[in-house]
Structure 1
Amino acid sequence: MKRTIQYKIGILEDGLTVKQFLKRKHYSGQNLVQLKKYEQGILINNMPAYVIHHLKEGDILTVNIWEEKVSEKIPPVPLPLHIVYEDEDLMVLDKAADMPVHPSMNNYENSLANGLAWYFSSQGVPFIFRCVNRLDRDTTGLTIIAKHMVSSSILSVMASRREIKREYLAIVNGTGLPPSGTVNAPLGRKPDSAIMRMVDFQNGEPSVTHYRVLKETNGCSLLSLHLETGRTHQIRVHMQYLGHPIIGDFLYNPDMTLIHRQALHSCRLEFSHPITGKPMLFTSPMPEDMRQALL
């Protein structure tokens, strides 16, 4: 993976060192270490420079990224991918159900990562898998993939600062919820399970989910949900905690009467591009199996 990024230094950056400037752009320390290893990783006005070099207004700072390694433990497999958007720095994909994001012991060759490994290997492009917002195996919808180490670092900082706005659709059991509300309940591991999570007010991590009721039908409620935090199984456990678990959830509500997977869909992503700063907005319609469950 090769990428060249250029910055024109303005009056507000005059006098900063290269390191200070790139840190303000959310380059990680590991990014800087790697860039220093490249022969022309950092250039100022087309001349090699050190990270301690002081910048001047009008300078052109060039960052050259060369990534030749691949994710060796992710075998390329030709799997269908729904690519919503792609540029030199990131991809947005619309993930199908029954597809883990990353290979695991029992799902070694059917993950989103396997499909992307094939996608890039068929182009002769080295690729390291870096997923920004992971989705559960049976959760459908939009997910962001960083294409190199710098975009990954910047997007990770954005995610930690809650600058990536995420909206989900979920169908839950029952009706009668208030029109909108917030679940503020910390989450932790369930003691007798390696997978399941639970509300844990003593030892859990802060977890906040906002919801809005969109529709009530067929004994169910369709909700729009916004996450402030991104804990494992957060929406699934918070809805169970409210007494309105997601239908089809094999862990927290194993009733497959209306649908054969958890009815949870990542329908909207909004964030600023990690390199250009351009506003980005992506939406995905509700899948057919969730539509049928509401009939």
Structure 2
Amino acid sequence: MTRLIVKLPAGCTELPARAYLIRHYGISNSQWKRLKHTGDFRKNGLSANATHTMVQNGDILTFESEKPRNPDAYPIEPQDLPLDIRYEDNFLLAVNKPAGQLVHPLTVEPKGTLANAVLGYYQRRGETHHFHPLHRLDRQTTGLVLIAKEPQIQHMLTKNGEKRFHRFYLAVACGTLPTVEGTIDKPIGRSDGSFIRQEVRAPEDGGKAARTHYCVLATSGGLSLVRLALDTGRTHQIRVHLASLGCPLLGDDLYGTPDARIARQALHAAQLSFRHPITHADCCINAPLPPDMQAIITSSFPFASI
């Protein structure tokens, strides 16, 4: 079990604890039922009856978060796999994912994923968290994935569909982007007749809003070293947006062409920043470039400042 501390924000009018925790904090009805029977619910440090407690501006609630006892609820198999942990506390885990690894299992590929590795790590430590990723990366994209240890923490960082963290990527693109800095604001949707490929599509044709900010750090030999930040997280967003400018990622065999210098798209999730939902500390996490991208950048952009 994990002990959680919830401080109600300023301006919160009085309402039942159950209503606040479900509507604003993100716990489920089943979690509430377990919570109210633990006997360890406290308001402002004093034991309280969770069912009858009213809360308001500035109140502090503490309680234990217990997992369901039904093992079938979590079918992902824990595995003892390598895990490059870049940040961890009682609430969050940030992992540097390698190329070639899925984030979630598939029916045809139920093992070897980041989810299997993370659950295996929890199991070895005697912890019972499930896998709650805040976002995903493509199989061949490397870099940071932020994972909540509790569904409430996941909810707090993605409240109302808004991701309350910032992702920064490094990429090597083919060609020269139209400006040194810019924003690509083009809706994205699935291509007709494909389950994988995405494309820029008008909203009336199923396109969903997608915004990518970019900054060109260096250009050399027909390549551009680019730093990117996302406002949205559409499937293949960076790959589709750069390709729409005529500058696909180096090595991207879906939206560009294969390249002998790298066996995948040259894209790395290098940095995550966020305000911690519990401690309220400003967090910034970094992951070093993988060897394949480092080699290209060293040879093509030796004087670039990353």
5+ long unaligned stretches in structure 1: none
Q: In the alignment, what sits opposite 2:66?
A: 66
- In structure 1, distance between residues paired with 2:237 and 2:58: 47
Aligned residues: 291
User: Aligned AA for 1:4?
Assistant: R
**2:167–2:271: 8 Å Cα contact kept in structure 1?**
yes
Q: In the alignment, what sits opposite 2:32?
A: 35
- In structure 2, distance between residues paired with 1:58 and 1:191: 51
Q: In the alignment, what sits opposite 1:229?
A: 232
For residues 43 and 212 of structure 1, do their structure 2 counterparts lie closer, same or farther at Cα, with a shift above 3 Å needed?
same
Alpha-carbon distance, 1:10 to partner: 8.6
CA-to-partner distance for each residue in 1:222-268, whole Å, 9 max, x for gaps?
11111111101100001111100001112212312221011111111
User: Aligned AA for 1:284?
Assistant: A
User: Aligned AA for 1:129?
Assistant: F
Q: In the alignment, what sits opposite 1:177?
A: 178
For residues 250 and 108 of structure 1, do their structure 2 counterparts lie closer, same or farther at Cα, with a shift above 3 Å needed?
farther
**1:13–1:57: 8 Å Cα contact kept in structure 2?**
yes
Alpha-carbon distance, 1:62 to partner: 1.6
SS at match of 2:31: helix
Q: In the alignment, what sits opposite 1:198?
A: 199
- In structure 1, distance between residues paired with 2:274 and 2:7: 23
Q: In the alignment, what sits opposite 2:92?
A: 90
SS at match of 1:261: coil
**1:197–1:237: 8 Å Cα contact kept in structure 2?**
yes
- In structure 1, distance between residues paired with 2:90 and 2:219: 42
Higher mean alpha-carbon deviation, 82-91 vs 98-107, is at: 98-107
User: Aligned AA for 1:182?
Assistant: T
**1:68–1:126: 8 Å Cα contact kept in structure 2?**
no
CA-to-partner distance for each residue in 1:151-195, whole Å, 9 max, x for gaps?
12112218x324211111111111253111111111111111111
Higher mean alpha-carbon deviation, 210-219 vs 54-63, is at: 54-63
Higher mean alpha-carbon deviation, 110-119 vs 50-59, is at: 50-59
For residues 59 and 154 of structure 1, do their structure 2 counterparts lie closer, same or farther at Cα, with a shift above 3 Å needed?
closer
SS at match of 2:50: coil
Q: In the alignment, what sits opposite 1:54?
A: 54
**2:86–2:287: 8 Å Cα contact kept in structure 1?**
no
Q: In the alignment, what sits opposite 2:105?
A: 103
- In structure 2, distance between residues paired with 1:11 and 1:173: 49
For residues 20 and 127 of structure 1, do their structure 2 counterparts lie closer, same or farther at Cα, with a shift above 3 Å needed?
closer
For residues 16 and 286 of structure 1, do their structure 2 counterparts lie closer, same or farther at Cα, with a shift above 3 Å needed?
same
Alpha-carbon distance, 1:117 to partner: 1.6
User: Aligned AA for 1:179?
Assistant: V
SS at match of 1:214: strand
Higher mean alpha-carbon deviation, 186-195 vs 64-73, is at: 64-73
User: Aligned AA for 2:289?
Assistant: M
5+ long unaligned stretches in structure 2: 300-306
**1:35–1:42: 8 Å Cα contact kept in structure 2?**
no
- Equivalent residue runs for 1:106-121 within 5 Å: 106-121=108-123
- Equivalent residue runs for 1:250-269 within 5 Å: 250-269=253-272
**1:19–1:32: 8 Å Cα contact kept in structure 2?**
no
CA RMSD of aligned residues (A): 2.4
CA-to-partner distance for each residue in 1:136-163, whole Å, 9 max, x for gaps?
11111111111012112112218x3242
Q: In the alignment, what sits opposite 2:304?
A: none
In the superposition, the TM-score normalised over structure 1's length comes to 0.89
**2:190–2:196: 8 Å Cα contact kept in structure 1?**
yes
- In structure 1, distance between residues paired with 2:156 and 2:7: 19
Tell me the percent identity: 36
Q: Does 1:155 align with 2:157?
A: yes
Q: In the alignment, what sits opposite 2:302?
A: none
Alpha-carbon distance, 1:33 to partner: 4.6
- In structure 2, distance between residues paired with 1:250 and 1:10: 48
SS at match of 2:133: coil
In the superposition, the TM-score normalised over structure 2's length comes to 0.86
For residues 59 and 216 of structure 1, do their structure 2 counterparts lie closer, same or farther at Cα, with a shift above 3 Å needed?
closer
**1:248–1:261: 8 Å Cα contact kept in structure 2?**
yes
For residues 102 and 7 of structure 1, do their structure 2 counterparts lie closer, same or farther at Cα, with a shift above 3 Å needed?
closer
